[in-house]
């Protein structure tokens, strides 16, 4: 294994890739250390969402997305990285350790994915038609490379109705859950303040007020009836990311694959938005998996399609903030 130090330029490339990753409520729950020519990505246990994410599942999925960006960034630096997930065990804050095995040559796909990192953002608006073809969907699913993560497109009326049922039920429950709504409000930040904050959901990035586009049900979100919801969903492409296990390693892996597919969509000129909110209601999650005959745990839902225009984005932390010591 080659011992080397990261140059200032390389450090910047790695850090910028990580801070651009998607995260639950845009909490950006990660920290980076670069000792002895390695990169260590830590999950910040001080950032919690007790109502939305009581088991920290989404936080680990978010770290998986950041780990995917880290690996891609190392490749475009012409390095041959090796990534270990949870190398100190499932309870450690160390999510990923990346070592450099020597010089490498980035694959064309790495370069495409890398440029997509900065262009990716959540698209909480209806898409422009037409819907993606089954070949396009298969191409996207082929972007996934990770053990134990299944990418399952929703196909046909029964699948669509299963999702409409899930969103309809979860929407009604969460809209009236005051603790949940308070937490969401705390993490939703006025646009002008969000620029200095760099974390949290910018209110402008939540333009839609109806499902499925809204992505997060708030007090004022309209809940269309199930038939309308099913009709809207039938016009979109939805992918379900599911894992055979439901532990922390599975969550990190799901996040990596989610990000690979999302970047694959962006490099094809597509846009996407993910949703985990309804999957935190365990009964509803189980019923959804049963109706889809999924012998796996659904972790993330992703809508993907063609952009119908520009949408406002949420800001991200400055790269230097990644290196702050744990609080
Ligand atoms: C694990 C995870 C769960 C998420 N869940 C939701 C969700 O339920 N609804 C939603 O609208 N967005 C969800 N998001 C998207 C984040 O809110 C978004 O990534 C973040 O605000 C940063 O914005 P950006 O994606 O535009 O960079 C989720 C993202 C991740 C990684």
The answer to whether the CB of 125 is under 6 A from ligand 1 is no
User: What number is the average pLDDT over the span 148-154?
Assistant: 96
pTM: 0.97
Q: Which of 121, 145, 160 is the last residue of a domain?
A: 121
Q: Which atom of ligand 1 is nearest to the CA of 124?
A: 11
Q: Residue 306 pairs with which residues in a beta bridge?
A: 128
- Find tokens 């475009």 and name the residue: 76
Q: Which atom of ligand 1 is nearest to the CA of 57?
A: 1
Statement to judge: residues 142 and 253 lie in one domain: yes
Residue 129 lies in a domain: no
Statement to judge: residues 146 and 295 lie in one domain: yes
Residue 294 lies in a domain: yes
User: Ligand 1 centre from 217 Cα, in Å?
Assistant: 13
59, 173, 255, 274: residue to mutate for ligand 1 pocket, most atoms within 8 A of CB: 274
The answer to whether the CB of 252 is under 6 A from ligand 1 is no
User: Ligand 1 centre from 315 Cα, in Å?
Assistant: 12
pLDDT digits 0-9 by tens, 27-55: 999 999 999 999 999 999 999 999 999 99
User: What number is the average pLDDT over the span 219-230?
Assistant: 95
CB atoms within 10 A of CB 48: 15
Statement to judge: residues 73 and 140 lie in one domain: no
Cα-to-chain-centroid distance, residue 133:
23
What confidence score (pLDDT) does residue 327 get?
57
User: Ligand 1 centre from 150 Cα, in Å?
Assistant: 20
User: What number is the average pLDDT over the span 209-230?
Assistant: 95
Statement to judge: residues 245 and 109 lie in one domain: no
| 23-27, 173-177, 197-201, 289-293: least confidently modelled range | 197-201
Q: What is the rounded distance in angstroms from the CA atom of residue 82 to the CA atom of residue 70?
A: 11
User: What number is the average pLDDT over the span 287-308?
Assistant: 98
Statement to judge: residues 57 and 168 lie in one domain: no
* Reported confidence tier of residue 326, pLDDT bands at 50, 70, 90: low
Statement to judge: residues 109 and 185 lie in one domain: no
The answer to whether the CB of 28 is under 6 A from ligand 1 is no
CB 97 within 8 A of CB 40: yes
Nearest CA to ligand 1 atom 10: 215
Nearest one of 26, 19, 21, 303 to 184, comparing CA atoms: 26
Statement to judge: residues 287 and 160 lie in one domain: yes
The answer to whether the CB of 23 is under 6 A from ligand 1 is yes
Residue 48 lies in a domain: yes
What confidence score (pLDDT) does residue 271 get?
98
The answer to whether the CB of 266 is under 6 A from ligand 1 is no
User: What number is the average pLDDT over the span 155-173?
Assistant: 97
Statement to judge: residues 275 and 150 lie in one domain: yes
Phi/psi at 97 (5° precision):
-120, 125
User: Ligand 1 centre from 37 Cα, in Å?
Assistant: 31
**Length of the chain in residues, anyone?**
327
Domain harbouring 195, CATH code: 3.40.109.10
What confidence score (pLDDT) does residue 145 get?
86
Q: Which of 75, 100, 121 is the last residue of a domain?
A: 121
Residue 298 lies in a domain: yes
What is residue 95's three-state secondary structure?
A: strand
Statement to judge: residues 111 and 153 lie in one domain: no
Helix (H) / strand (E) containing 137: helix 134-141
What confidence score (pLDDT) does residue 289 get?
98
Percent of the chain with pLDDT over 70: 98
User: Ligand 1 centre from 56 Cα, in Å?
Assistant: 14
DSSP string, 190-249: -HHHHHHH--SEEGGG----BTTTTSS--TT-B---HHHHHHHHHTSEEEEEEES--SHH
The answer to whether the CB of 58 is under 6 A from ligand 1 is yes
User: Ligand 1 centre from 276 Cα, in Å?
Assistant: 8
Q: What is the rounded distance in angstroms from the CA atom of residue 94 to the CA atom of residue 157?
A: 42
pLDDT at position 219 over 80: yes
* Reported confidence tier of residue 195, pLDDT bands at 50, 70, 90: confident
Domain hosting residue 25, numbered range: 8-121
Residue 2 lies in a domain: no
Please enumerate in sequence order all residues whose Cβ is within 8 A of that of 25, keeping only pairs 6 or more positions apart, or say none. 49, 52, 184, 187, 200, 201
User: Ligand 1 centre from 74 Cα, in Å?
Assistant: 24
16, 19, 25: residue to mutate for ligand 1 pocket, most atoms within 8 A of CB: 25
The answer to whether the CB of 314 is under 6 A from ligand 1 is yes
Statement to judge: residues 88 and 62 lie in one domain: yes
Number of domains in the chain: 2
Statement to judge: residues 116 and 161 lie in one domain: no
Kindly state the tokens that stand for 313.
Answer: 């984005």
């Amino acid at each position: 294994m080659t011992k080397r130090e990261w140059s200032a330029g390389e450090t910047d490339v790695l850090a910028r890739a990580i801070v651009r990753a998607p995260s639950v409520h845009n909490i950006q729950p990660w920290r980076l250390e670069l000792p002895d020519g390695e990169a260590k990505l830590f999950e910040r246990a001080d950032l919690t969402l007790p109502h939305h994410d009581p088991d920290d599942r989404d936080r680990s999925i978010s770290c998986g997305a950041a780990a995917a960006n880290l690996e891609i960034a190392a490749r475009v630096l012409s390095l041959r990285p090796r990534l270990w997930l949870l190398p100190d065990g499932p309870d450690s804050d160390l999510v990923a350790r990346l070592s450099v095995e020597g010089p490498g040559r980035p694959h064309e796909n790495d370069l495409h994915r890398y440029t997509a990192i900065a262009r990716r953002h959540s698209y909480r608006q209806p898409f422009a038609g037409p819907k993606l073809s089954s070949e396009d969907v298969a191409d996207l699913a082929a972007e996934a490379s990770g053990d134990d993560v299944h990418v399952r497109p929703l196909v046909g009326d029964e699948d669509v109705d299963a999702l409409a049922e899930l969103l309809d039920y979860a929407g009604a429950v969460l809209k009236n859950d005051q603790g949940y709504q308070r937490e969401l409000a705390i993490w939703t930040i006025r646009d002008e303040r969000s620029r200095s904050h760099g974390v949290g959901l910018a209110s402008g990035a939540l333009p839609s007020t109806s499902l499925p586009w809204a992505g997060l049900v708030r007090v004022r979100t309209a809940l269309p009836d199930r038939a309308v919801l099913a009709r809207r969903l039938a016009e979109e492409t939805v992918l379900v990311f599911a894992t055979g296990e439901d532990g922390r390693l599975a969550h990190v892996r799901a996040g990596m694959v989610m990000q690979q597919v999302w970047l694959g969509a962006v490099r094809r000129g597509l846009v996407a938005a993910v949703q985990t909110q309804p999957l935190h209601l365990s009964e509803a999650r189980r019923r959804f998996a049963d109706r889809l005959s999924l012998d796996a745990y659904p972790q993330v839902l992703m809508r993907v399609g063609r952009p119908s225009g520009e949408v406002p984005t949420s800001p991200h932390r400055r790269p230097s903030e990644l290196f702050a010591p744990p609080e």
